[in-house]
Structure 1
Amino acid sequence: MFCPDLRGYGASDKPAATDPEVYAKRTMAADIVTLAASLGHERCALVGHDRGALVAFRAALDHPETITHLGILDIVPMLGMWNVMRGVSAAVGCHLYLVAQPPGLPEAMIAGNADAFFGSFLGAWANDPTAMPADVRAEYLRASGAAVTSVVADYRASADIDVTHDQADLDAGSQLAMPVTVMQQDWGAQLGFDAAGMSEYPAVPATAVG
Protein backbone atom coordinates (compact mmCIF):
# COMPACT_ATOMS: atom_id res chain seq x y z
CA MET A 1 0.00 0.00 0.00
CA PHE A 2 1.22 3.51 -0.75
CA CYS A 3 -0.37 6.94 -0.23
CA PRO A 4 1.57 9.69 -2.01
CA ASP A 5 1.11 13.44 -2.04
CA LEU A 6 0.09 14.54 -5.52
CA ARG A 7 2.55 16.67 -7.44
CA GLY A 8 2.25 20.23 -6.19
CA TYR A 9 0.91 19.23 -2.75
CA GLY A 10 2.42 18.43 0.62
CA ALA A 11 6.05 17.33 0.41
CA SER A 12 5.90 16.46 -3.30
CA ASP A 13 7.76 18.46 -5.94
CA LYS A 14 6.06 21.65 -7.11
CA PRO A 15 7.23 22.25 -10.67
CA ALA A 16 6.42 25.59 -12.29
CA ALA A 17 3.31 25.47 -14.46
CA THR A 18 5.19 26.43 -17.62
CA ASP A 19 2.44 24.85 -19.75
CA PRO A 20 -0.97 23.27 -19.03
CA GLU A 21 0.42 19.73 -19.22
CA VAL A 22 2.49 20.18 -16.06
CA TYR A 23 -0.56 19.87 -13.78
CA ALA A 24 -2.85 18.00 -16.15
CA LYS A 25 -4.45 15.01 -14.44
CA ARG A 26 -2.94 12.91 -17.26
CA THR A 27 0.53 13.97 -16.10
CA MET A 28 -0.29 13.43 -12.45
CA ALA A 29 -1.76 10.01 -13.22
CA ALA A 30 1.48 9.06 -14.95
CA ASP A 31 3.29 10.12 -11.76
CA ILE A 32 1.23 7.63 -9.74
CA VAL A 33 1.68 4.77 -12.20
CA THR A 34 5.43 5.42 -12.36
CA LEU A 35 5.63 5.51 -8.57
CA ALA A 36 3.69 2.26 -8.28
CA ALA A 37 6.05 0.57 -10.73
CA SER A 38 9.08 1.84 -8.84
CA LEU A 39 7.67 0.19 -5.71
CA GLY A 40 7.19 -3.08 -7.54
CA HIS A 41 3.48 -2.75 -8.29
CA GLU A 42 2.98 -3.43 -11.99
CA ARG A 43 -0.74 -3.80 -11.29
CA CYS A 44 -2.66 -2.27 -8.40
CA ALA A 45 -6.02 -1.06 -7.16
CA LEU A 46 -6.28 2.73 -6.91
CA VAL A 47 -8.49 4.82 -4.64
CA GLY A 48 -8.61 8.62 -4.76
CA HIS A 49 -10.40 11.27 -2.73
CA ASP A 50 -11.36 14.69 -4.13
CA ARG A 51 -8.39 15.96 -6.18
CA GLY A 52 -6.82 12.54 -5.92
CA ALA A 53 -9.99 10.97 -7.31
CA LEU A 54 -9.64 13.05 -10.47
CA VAL A 55 -6.10 11.71 -10.84
CA ALA A 56 -7.26 8.16 -10.13
CA PHE A 57 -10.03 8.48 -12.73
CA ARG A 58 -7.51 9.62 -15.35
CA ALA A 59 -5.04 6.89 -14.36
CA ALA A 60 -7.75 4.26 -14.85
CA LEU A 61 -8.61 5.62 -18.29
CA ASP A 62 -5.02 5.99 -19.45
CA HIS A 63 -3.47 2.93 -17.77
CA PRO A 64 -6.02 0.09 -17.70
CA GLU A 65 -3.15 -2.39 -17.89
CA THR A 66 -2.03 -1.15 -14.45
CA ILE A 67 -5.20 -0.22 -12.56
CA THR A 68 -7.18 -3.32 -11.57
CA HIS A 69 -9.89 -1.65 -9.44
CA LEU A 70 -10.89 2.01 -9.03
CA GLY A 71 -12.39 3.83 -6.05
CA ILE A 72 -13.75 7.38 -6.44
CA LEU A 73 -14.50 9.24 -3.20
CA ASP A 74 -16.43 12.50 -2.92
CA ILE A 75 -16.12 13.97 -6.38
CA VAL A 76 -17.37 13.54 -9.93
CA PRO A 77 -15.35 13.86 -13.16
CA MET A 78 -14.68 17.42 -14.28
CA LEU A 79 -17.14 17.36 -17.18
CA GLY A 80 -19.95 16.39 -14.86
CA MET A 81 -19.00 18.97 -12.26
CA TRP A 82 -18.89 21.89 -14.67
CA ASN A 83 -22.18 20.77 -16.21
CA VAL A 84 -24.06 20.75 -12.90
CA MET A 85 -22.46 23.79 -11.22
CA ARG A 86 -24.98 26.49 -12.02
CA GLY A 87 -27.23 29.02 -10.31
CA VAL A 88 -27.11 29.61 -6.57
CA SER A 89 -26.06 26.02 -5.90
CA ALA A 90 -22.72 26.86 -7.54
CA ALA A 91 -21.86 29.10 -4.57
CA VAL A 92 -20.45 26.05 -2.78
CA GLY A 93 -17.83 25.87 -5.53
CA CYS A 94 -16.98 29.58 -5.73
CA HIS A 95 -13.29 28.74 -5.33
CA LEU A 96 -13.39 26.67 -8.52
CA TYR A 97 -14.25 29.74 -10.56
CA LEU A 98 -11.61 31.85 -8.82
CA VAL A 99 -8.73 29.47 -9.48
CA ALA A 100 -9.84 28.94 -13.07
CA GLN A 101 -8.84 32.52 -13.88
CA PRO A 102 -5.58 33.27 -15.76
CA PRO A 103 -2.34 33.21 -13.71
CA GLY A 104 -1.75 36.14 -11.41
CA LEU A 105 -4.92 37.26 -9.70
CA PRO A 106 -5.98 33.98 -8.02
CA GLU A 107 -2.49 33.37 -6.66
CA ALA A 108 -2.22 36.92 -5.31
CA MET A 109 -5.64 36.85 -3.67
CA ILE A 110 -5.09 33.48 -1.99
CA ALA A 111 -1.51 34.15 -0.93
CA GLY A 112 -2.68 37.43 0.64
CA ASN A 113 -4.39 35.39 3.39
CA ALA A 114 -3.75 31.73 2.72
CA ASP A 115 -4.70 30.64 6.23
CA ALA A 116 -8.15 32.21 5.89
CA PHE A 117 -8.68 30.72 2.43
CA PHE A 118 -7.63 27.16 3.22
CA GLY A 119 -8.95 27.35 6.76
CA SER A 120 -12.45 28.10 5.47
CA PHE A 121 -12.58 24.61 3.97
CA LEU A 122 -11.47 23.01 7.20
CA GLY A 123 -14.28 24.80 8.97
CA ALA A 124 -16.84 23.59 6.44
CA TRP A 125 -15.71 19.96 6.46
CA ALA A 126 -16.69 19.15 10.04
CA ASN A 127 -19.63 20.11 12.22
CA ASP A 128 -17.35 19.90 15.24
CA PRO A 129 -14.65 22.61 15.12
CA THR A 130 -12.47 20.50 17.42
CA ALA A 131 -12.57 17.46 15.13
CA MET A 132 -9.16 18.33 13.70
CA PRO A 133 -6.43 18.64 16.34
CA ALA A 134 -4.75 22.05 16.44
CA ASP A 135 -1.34 20.69 15.45
CA VAL A 136 -2.79 18.84 12.44
CA ARG A 137 -4.67 21.96 11.35
CA ALA A 138 -1.55 24.09 11.69
CA GLU A 139 0.48 21.68 9.56
CA TYR A 140 -2.26 21.54 6.92
CA LEU A 141 -2.32 25.34 6.70
CA ARG A 142 1.47 25.54 6.60
CA ALA A 143 1.73 23.04 3.76
CA SER A 144 -1.14 24.65 1.86
CA GLY A 145 0.28 28.15 2.21
CA ALA A 146 3.60 26.93 0.81
CA ALA A 147 1.87 25.44 -2.23
CA VAL A 148 -0.49 28.21 -3.37
CA THR A 149 0.96 28.48 -6.87
CA SER A 150 0.91 24.75 -7.57
CA VAL A 151 -2.49 24.21 -5.97
CA VAL A 152 -3.97 26.92 -8.18
CA ALA A 153 -2.24 25.39 -11.21
CA ASP A 154 -3.83 22.03 -10.44
CA TYR A 155 -7.30 23.53 -10.19
CA ARG A 156 -6.78 25.72 -13.26
CA ALA A 157 -5.90 22.61 -15.26
CA SER A 158 -9.26 21.15 -14.27
CA ALA A 159 -11.03 24.02 -16.02
CA ASP A 160 -8.84 23.77 -19.10
CA ILE A 161 -6.70 20.87 -20.29
CA ASP A 162 -8.43 18.25 -18.13
CA VAL A 163 -11.77 19.16 -19.69
CA THR A 164 -10.21 18.76 -23.14
CA HIS A 165 -8.85 15.32 -22.25
CA ASP A 166 -12.10 14.15 -20.64
CA GLN A 167 -14.21 15.36 -23.53
CA ALA A 168 -11.98 13.57 -26.03
CA ASP A 169 -12.41 10.30 -24.11
CA LEU A 170 -16.16 10.81 -23.82
CA ASP A 171 -16.46 11.55 -27.55
CA ALA A 172 -14.40 8.45 -28.33
CA GLY A 173 -16.64 6.27 -26.18
CA SER A 174 -13.79 5.33 -23.85
CA GLN A 175 -14.79 3.13 -20.92
CA LEU A 176 -13.31 2.13 -17.62
CA ALA A 177 -12.46 -1.54 -17.95
CA MET A 178 -12.08 -2.33 -14.24
CA PRO A 179 -14.61 -2.59 -11.37
CA VAL A 180 -15.42 0.86 -9.96
CA THR A 181 -16.82 1.97 -6.61
CA VAL A 182 -18.19 5.51 -6.22
CA MET A 183 -18.79 6.98 -2.77
CA GLN A 184 -20.00 10.50 -2.04
CA GLN A 185 -21.53 12.60 0.69
CA ASP A 186 -25.07 13.97 0.62
CA TRP A 187 -23.98 17.21 -1.07
CA GLY A 188 -24.50 15.46 -4.41
CA ALA A 189 -28.25 15.71 -4.00
CA GLN A 190 -27.93 19.35 -2.91
CA LEU A 191 -26.20 20.23 -6.16
CA GLY A 192 -28.62 18.20 -8.22
CA PHE A 193 -26.62 15.27 -9.57
CA ASP A 194 -26.41 11.53 -9.12
CA ALA A 195 -22.76 10.44 -9.16
CA ALA A 196 -23.53 6.79 -9.84
CA GLY A 197 -25.81 7.60 -12.75
CA MET A 198 -23.53 10.02 -14.56
CA SER A 199 -22.39 9.05 -18.05
CA GLU A 200 -18.88 10.23 -17.25
CA TYR A 201 -18.49 7.04 -15.19
CA PRO A 202 -18.63 4.56 -18.11
CA ALA A 203 -17.62 1.62 -15.94
CA VAL A 204 -18.36 -2.10 -16.21
CA PRO A 205 -19.22 -3.18 -13.58
CA ALA A 206 -19.78 -0.36 -11.05
CA THR A 207 -20.90 -0.20 -7.43
CA ALA A 208 -22.34 3.01 -6.00
CA VAL A 209 -22.44 3.78 -2.30
CA GLY A 210 -24.37 6.96 -1.46
Structure 2
Amino acid sequence: MKPTIPGFDHQRVSVAEDVRLNVAVAGAGAPVVLLHGFPQTHLMWRHVAADLAADHTVICPDLRGYGDSDKPREDGPGTYSKRTMAQDVVTLARRLGHDRFALAGHDRGALVAFRAGLDHPDAVSHLACLDILPTLDMWDALHGRSAAVGFHLYLMAQPPGLAERMISASADAFFGHFLDAWVNRPDAIPPRVRAEYLRACRAAVPSIVADYRASAGIDVEHDETDRAAGHRLSMPVTVLQQDWGAALGFDAGALWESWADDLRHATVPYGHFMAEEAPADVAKALRELLHR
Protein backbone atom coordinates (compact mmCIF):
# COMPACT_ATOMS: atom_id res chain seq x y z
CA MET A 1 0.00 0.00 0.00
CA LYS A 2 1.29 3.45 -0.92
CA PRO A 3 2.20 5.72 1.99
CA THR A 4 -0.19 8.61 2.62
CA ILE A 5 -0.51 11.48 5.07
CA PRO A 6 -2.69 10.09 7.89
CA GLY A 7 -6.01 11.84 8.24
CA PHE A 8 -5.84 13.53 4.82
CA ASP A 9 -8.37 12.97 2.06
CA HIS A 10 -7.07 12.53 -1.48
CA GLN A 11 -8.75 13.82 -4.61
CA ARG A 12 -7.96 14.82 -8.16
CA VAL A 13 -8.77 18.40 -9.09
CA SER A 14 -8.86 19.79 -12.62
CA VAL A 15 -6.76 22.96 -12.94
CA ALA A 16 -6.36 23.17 -16.73
CA GLU A 17 -7.83 21.56 -19.81
CA ASP A 18 -5.39 18.65 -19.72
CA VAL A 19 -4.17 18.73 -16.12
CA ARG A 20 -5.61 17.29 -12.93
CA LEU A 21 -3.60 17.54 -9.75
CA ASN A 22 -3.44 14.85 -7.11
CA VAL A 23 -4.04 16.64 -3.81
CA ALA A 24 -4.25 15.73 -0.13
CA VAL A 25 -6.50 17.94 2.02
CA ALA A 26 -7.32 18.05 5.73
CA GLY A 27 -8.16 20.42 8.56
CA ALA A 28 -10.27 23.53 8.90
CA GLY A 29 -9.47 27.20 9.15
CA ALA A 30 -7.34 29.61 7.15
CA PRO A 31 -5.95 27.79 4.10
CA VAL A 32 -2.28 26.91 3.65
CA VAL A 33 -0.97 25.34 0.43
CA LEU A 34 2.26 23.31 0.65
CA LEU A 35 4.29 22.60 -2.51
CA HIS A 36 6.86 19.82 -2.64
CA GLY A 37 10.33 19.75 -4.15
CA PHE A 38 12.57 17.42 -6.17
CA PRO A 39 12.78 14.44 -6.19
CA GLN A 40 9.74 14.16 -3.95
CA THR A 41 5.94 14.28 -3.87
CA HIS A 42 3.46 15.93 -1.52
CA LEU A 43 4.48 13.26 1.04
CA MET A 44 7.50 15.36 1.99
CA TRP A 45 5.11 17.57 3.98
CA ARG A 46 3.58 14.66 5.94
CA HIS A 47 4.79 15.84 9.38
CA VAL A 48 4.37 19.58 8.86
CA ALA A 49 0.97 19.15 7.21
CA ALA A 50 -0.36 17.09 10.11
CA ASP A 51 0.82 19.77 12.54
CA LEU A 52 -0.74 22.67 10.62
CA ALA A 53 -4.01 20.81 10.02
CA ALA A 54 -4.82 21.16 13.73
CA ASP A 55 -6.02 24.71 13.02
CA HIS A 56 -5.71 25.33 9.28
CA THR A 57 -7.06 23.91 6.06
CA VAL A 58 -3.96 22.29 4.60
CA ILE A 59 -3.71 21.57 0.87
CA CYS A 60 -0.82 19.44 -0.40
CA PRO A 61 -0.79 18.85 -4.17
CA ASP A 62 1.62 16.99 -6.38
CA LEU A 63 2.84 19.58 -8.88
CA ARG A 64 1.98 19.06 -12.53
CA GLY A 65 4.44 16.55 -13.93
CA TYR A 66 5.17 15.00 -10.54
CA GLY A 67 3.77 12.30 -8.29
CA ASP A 68 0.28 11.20 -9.25
CA SER A 69 -0.68 14.48 -10.93
CA ASP A 70 -1.09 14.61 -14.69
CA LYS A 71 1.99 14.99 -16.85
CA PRO A 72 1.10 16.88 -20.03
CA ARG A 73 3.46 16.50 -22.94
CA GLU A 74 5.86 19.42 -23.26
CA ASP A 75 4.60 21.31 -26.31
CA GLY A 76 6.57 24.51 -25.71
CA PRO A 77 8.47 26.34 -22.98
CA GLY A 78 5.28 27.36 -21.22
CA THR A 79 4.04 23.86 -20.42
CA TYR A 80 6.23 23.58 -17.35
CA SER A 81 7.08 27.22 -16.73
CA LYS A 82 6.73 28.28 -13.12
CA ARG A 83 4.16 30.81 -14.31
CA THR A 84 1.97 27.99 -15.60
CA MET A 85 2.53 25.88 -12.51
CA ALA A 86 1.74 28.86 -10.27
CA GLN A 87 -1.54 29.32 -12.11
CA ASP A 88 -2.28 25.65 -11.42
CA VAL A 89 -1.91 26.32 -7.70
CA VAL A 90 -4.13 29.40 -7.71
CA THR A 91 -6.79 27.55 -9.71
CA LEU A 92 -6.56 24.56 -7.36
CA ALA A 93 -7.14 26.74 -4.31
CA ARG A 94 -10.10 28.44 -5.94
CA ARG A 95 -11.63 25.10 -6.95
CA LEU A 96 -11.39 24.11 -3.30
CA GLY A 97 -13.12 27.34 -2.26
CA HIS A 98 -10.18 29.60 -1.36
CA ASP A 99 -9.52 32.86 -3.21
CA ARG A 100 -6.72 33.83 -0.82
CA PHE A 101 -4.28 31.52 0.93
CA ALA A 102 -0.83 31.20 2.48
CA LEU A 103 1.71 29.39 0.34
CA ALA A 104 4.87 27.50 1.26
CA GLY A 105 7.17 25.66 -1.12
CA HIS A 106 10.35 23.65 -0.97
CA ASP A 107 12.91 23.41 -3.78
CA ARG A 108 10.96 23.23 -7.10
CA GLY A 109 7.77 23.99 -5.22
CA ALA A 110 9.41 27.09 -3.76
CA LEU A 111 10.17 28.33 -7.27
CA VAL A 112 6.49 27.87 -8.12
CA ALA A 113 5.52 29.64 -4.89
CA PHE A 114 7.88 32.53 -5.65
CA ARG A 115 6.32 32.97 -9.09
CA ALA A 116 2.80 32.76 -7.61
CA GLY A 117 3.71 35.51 -5.15
CA LEU A 118 4.82 37.80 -7.97
CA ASP A 119 2.00 36.96 -10.39
CA HIS A 120 -0.87 36.63 -7.92
CA PRO A 121 -0.31 38.95 -4.95
CA ASP A 122 -4.07 39.21 -4.52
CA ALA A 123 -4.26 35.45 -3.89
CA VAL A 124 -1.10 34.77 -1.85
CA SER A 125 -1.36 36.22 1.66
CA HIS A 126 1.93 34.86 3.06
CA LEU A 127 4.87 33.18 1.34
CA ALA A 128 7.55 30.76 2.57
CA CYS A 129 10.39 29.42 0.42
CA LEU A 130 12.60 26.60 1.67
CA ASP A 131 16.19 26.25 0.47
CA ILE A 132 16.15 27.93 -2.92
CA LEU A 133 17.19 31.13 -4.59
CA PRO A 134 14.95 32.76 -7.18
CA THR A 135 15.75 31.25 -10.58
CA LEU A 136 17.56 34.31 -11.96
CA ASP A 137 19.76 34.60 -8.87
CA MET A 138 20.46 30.87 -8.82
CA TRP A 139 21.96 30.89 -12.32
CA ASP A 140 23.95 34.03 -11.54
CA ALA A 141 25.33 32.47 -8.34
CA LEU A 142 26.57 29.23 -9.92
CA HIS A 143 30.08 29.55 -11.30
CA GLY A 144 33.42 27.76 -11.46
CA ARG A 145 34.03 24.50 -9.67
CA SER A 146 31.39 25.25 -7.04
CA ALA A 147 28.75 24.90 -9.77
CA ALA A 148 29.40 21.15 -9.79
CA VAL A 149 26.84 20.82 -6.98
CA GLY A 150 24.23 21.77 -9.56
CA PHE A 151 25.32 19.41 -12.34
CA HIS A 152 21.75 18.20 -12.73
CA LEU A 153 20.61 21.74 -13.55
CA TYR A 154 22.92 21.84 -16.56
CA LEU A 155 22.09 18.30 -17.66
CA MET A 156 18.33 18.90 -17.65
CA ALA A 157 18.72 22.30 -19.32
CA GLN A 158 19.67 20.60 -22.59
CA PRO A 159 17.27 20.37 -25.57
CA PRO A 160 14.75 17.50 -25.43
CA GLY A 161 16.08 13.99 -25.82
CA LEU A 162 19.52 13.46 -24.30
CA ALA A 163 18.81 14.05 -20.61
CA GLU A 164 15.60 12.04 -20.76
CA ARG A 165 17.39 9.03 -22.24
CA MET A 166 20.32 9.20 -19.85
CA ILE A 167 18.17 9.55 -16.72
CA SER A 168 15.65 6.90 -17.79
CA ALA A 169 18.48 4.40 -18.27
CA SER A 170 19.27 4.53 -14.54
CA ALA A 171 16.44 6.44 -12.93
CA ASP A 172 16.68 5.01 -9.41
CA ALA A 173 20.42 5.71 -9.25
CA PHE A 174 19.93 9.26 -10.55
CA PHE A 175 17.09 10.30 -8.27
CA GLY A 176 18.42 8.27 -5.35
CA HIS A 177 21.70 10.19 -5.54
CA PHE A 178 19.94 13.39 -4.47
CA LEU A 179 17.95 11.68 -1.73
CA ASP A 180 21.26 10.46 -0.30
CA ALA A 181 23.49 13.48 -0.94
CA TRP A 182 21.14 16.21 0.21
CA VAL A 183 20.04 14.79 3.57
CA ASN A 184 21.87 15.17 6.89
CA ARG A 185 19.68 12.59 8.65
CA PRO A 186 19.06 9.56 6.41
CA ASP A 187 16.38 8.25 8.79
CA ALA A 188 14.30 11.34 7.94
CA ILE A 189 13.29 9.61 4.70
CA PRO A 190 12.29 6.06 5.67
CA PRO A 191 12.56 3.23 3.12
CA ARG A 192 8.84 3.16 2.36
CA VAL A 193 8.76 6.89 1.58
CA ARG A 194 12.00 6.71 -0.39
CA ALA A 195 10.56 3.89 -2.49
CA GLU A 196 7.50 6.01 -3.23
CA TYR A 197 9.64 8.96 -4.31
CA LEU A 198 11.62 6.73 -6.66
CA ARG A 199 8.47 5.13 -8.08
CA ALA A 200 6.97 8.52 -8.78
CA CYS A 201 10.14 9.85 -10.39
CA ARG A 202 10.62 6.81 -12.62
CA ALA A 203 7.19 7.50 -14.09
CA ALA A 204 7.85 11.20 -14.60
CA VAL A 205 11.28 11.57 -16.21
CA PRO A 206 10.14 13.60 -19.27
CA SER A 207 8.05 16.02 -17.23
CA ILE A 208 10.68 16.46 -14.51
CA VAL A 209 13.28 17.27 -17.16
CA ALA A 210 10.83 19.67 -18.83
CA ASP A 211 10.34 21.45 -15.49
CA TYR A 212 14.09 21.94 -15.12
CA ARG A 213 14.48 22.92 -18.78
CA ALA A 214 11.95 25.69 -18.25
CA SER A 215 14.05 27.00 -15.37
CA ALA A 216 17.00 27.47 -17.71
CA GLY A 217 14.91 29.41 -20.20
CA ILE A 218 11.47 30.91 -19.85
CA ASP A 219 11.59 31.13 -16.05
CA VAL A 220 14.74 33.25 -16.21
CA GLU A 221 13.06 35.51 -18.76
CA HIS A 222 10.09 36.02 -16.45
CA ASP A 223 12.37 36.87 -13.52
CA GLU A 224 14.37 39.29 -15.65
CA THR A 225 11.19 41.06 -16.73
CA ASP A 226 10.02 41.43 -13.13
CA ARG A 227 13.39 42.68 -11.94
CA ALA A 228 13.57 45.26 -14.73
CA ALA A 229 10.07 46.46 -13.85
CA GLY A 230 10.87 46.64 -10.13
CA HIS A 231 8.25 44.05 -9.20
CA ARG A 232 8.64 42.72 -5.66
CA LEU A 233 6.91 40.36 -3.26
CA SER A 234 4.48 42.46 -1.27
CA MET A 235 3.31 39.85 1.26
CA PRO A 236 5.23 38.71 4.37
CA VAL A 237 7.98 36.32 3.27
CA THR A 238 9.96 33.73 5.22
CA VAL A 239 13.01 32.00 3.73
CA LEU A 240 14.74 29.06 5.41
CA GLN A 241 18.04 28.16 3.81
CA GLN A 242 21.18 26.13 4.32
CA ASP A 243 24.40 28.13 4.43
CA TRP A 244 24.80 28.27 0.67
CA GLY A 245 26.96 31.35 0.89
CA ALA A 246 29.78 29.46 2.59
CA ALA A 247 29.88 26.96 -0.28
CA LEU A 248 29.12 29.19 -3.24
CA GLY A 249 30.37 32.57 -2.10
CA PHE A 250 27.32 34.84 -1.99
CA ASP A 251 24.96 36.43 0.52
CA ALA A 252 21.66 34.60 0.15
CA GLY A 253 19.85 36.97 2.50
CA ALA A 254 20.89 39.99 0.46
CA LEU A 255 19.70 38.34 -2.73
CA TRP A 256 16.29 37.70 -1.18
CA GLU A 257 16.09 41.26 0.14
CA SER A 258 16.16 42.47 -3.45
CA TRP A 259 12.82 40.72 -4.03
CA ALA A 260 10.86 41.01 -0.77
CA ASP A 261 9.62 44.04 1.17
CA ASP A 262 8.83 42.12 4.39
CA LEU A 263 11.46 39.38 4.66
CA ARG A 264 12.65 37.11 7.43
CA HIS A 265 15.61 35.08 6.20
CA ALA A 266 17.12 32.36 8.40
CA THR A 267 20.15 30.14 7.86
CA VAL A 268 19.36 26.72 9.32
CA PRO A 269 21.58 23.74 10.28
CA TYR A 270 19.52 21.08 8.49
CA GLY A 271 20.01 19.28 5.22
CA HIS A 272 18.08 20.21 2.10
CA PHE A 273 15.07 18.09 3.07
CA MET A 274 14.39 20.20 6.14
CA ALA A 275 10.64 19.59 6.31
CA GLU A 276 11.46 15.92 6.86
CA GLU A 277 14.59 16.38 8.99
CA ALA A 278 13.24 19.10 11.30
CA PRO A 279 9.46 19.25 10.82
CA ALA A 280 8.75 20.84 14.20
CA ASP A 281 11.09 23.72 13.44
CA VAL A 282 9.65 24.20 9.95
CA ALA A 283 6.08 24.12 11.27
CA LYS A 284 7.04 26.68 13.94
CA ALA A 285 8.54 28.99 11.30
CA LEU A 286 5.40 28.70 9.17
CA ARG A 287 3.15 29.44 12.13
CA GLU A 288 5.21 32.53 12.93
CA LEU A 289 4.87 33.63 9.31
CA LEU A 290 1.10 33.17 9.39
CA HIS A 291 0.84 35.52 12.39
CA ARG A 292 2.69 38.38 10.71
The correspondence for 1:174, drawn from 221, 225, 231, is 231
Mapping of residues 152-191 of structure 1, within 5 Å = 152-191=209-248
- 1:53-108 deviation per Cα after TM superposition (whole angstroms, max 9, x unaligned): 00000000000110011101100001111001001100100000000000000000
How many residues are treated as equivalent by the alignment?
A: 210
Deviation at 1:199, TM superposition (A): 5.8
- 1:146-173 deviation per Cα after TM superposition (whole angstroms, max 9, x unaligned): 0000000000000000011110111111
* Structure 1 position 70 matched with structure 2 position 163: no
Q: Provide the TM-score with structure 1 as the length reference.
A: 0.96
Equivalents in 1 of 2:82, 2:142: separation in Å?
20
Whichever residue aligns with residue 30 of structure 1, its letter is Q
User: RMSD over aligned Cα, in angstroms?
Assistant: 1.2
The correspondence for 2:143, drawn from 86, 89, 95, is 86
* Structure 1 position 197 matched with structure 2 position 254: yes
* Structure 1 position 143 matched with structure 2 position 200: yes
Counterpart in the other structure of 2:14 = none
Q: Is the 8 A contact 2:257 2:263 kept in 1?
A: no
Equivalents in 1 of 2:135, 2:199: separation in Å?
28
Q: Is the 8 A contact 2:168 2:202 kept in 1?
A: yes
Mapping of residues 1-210 of structure 1, within 5 Å = 1-198=58-255, 201-210=258-267
Whichever residue aligns with residue 215 of structure 2, its letter is S
- Greater helix content: 1
Equivalents in 2 of 1:92, 1:52: separation in Å?
19
Gaps of 5+ in 1: none
Counterpart in the other structure of 2:290 = none
Question: What percentage of residue pairs aligned between the two structures are identical?
Answer: 64
RCO (CA 8 Å, sep 6+): is it higher in 1 or 2? 1
- 1:118-139 deviation per Cα after TM superposition (whole angstroms, max 9, x unaligned): 0000111224444422221111
Gaps of 5+ in 2: 1-57, 268-292
- Greater strand content: 2
Provide closer, same or farther for how the CA distance between residues 160 and 135 of structure 1 changes in structure 2, counting only shifts above 3 A. Answer: same
Equivalents in 1 of 2:120, 2:136: separation in Å?
20
Q: Is the 8 A contact 1:78 1:163 kept in 2?
A: yes
Counterpart in the other structure of 2:4 = none
Q: Provide the TM-score with structure 2 as the length reference.
A: 0.70
Give 4+ residue runs of structure 1 displaced > 4 Å after superposition. none
Residue 79 of structure 2 aligns to a residue whose secondary structure is helix
Provide closer, same or farther for how the CA distance between residues 199 and 73 of structure 1 changes in structure 2, counting only shifts above 3 A. Answer: closer
Provide closer, same or farther for how the CA distance between residues 180 and 201 of structure 1 changes in structure 2, counting only shifts above 3 A. Answer: farther
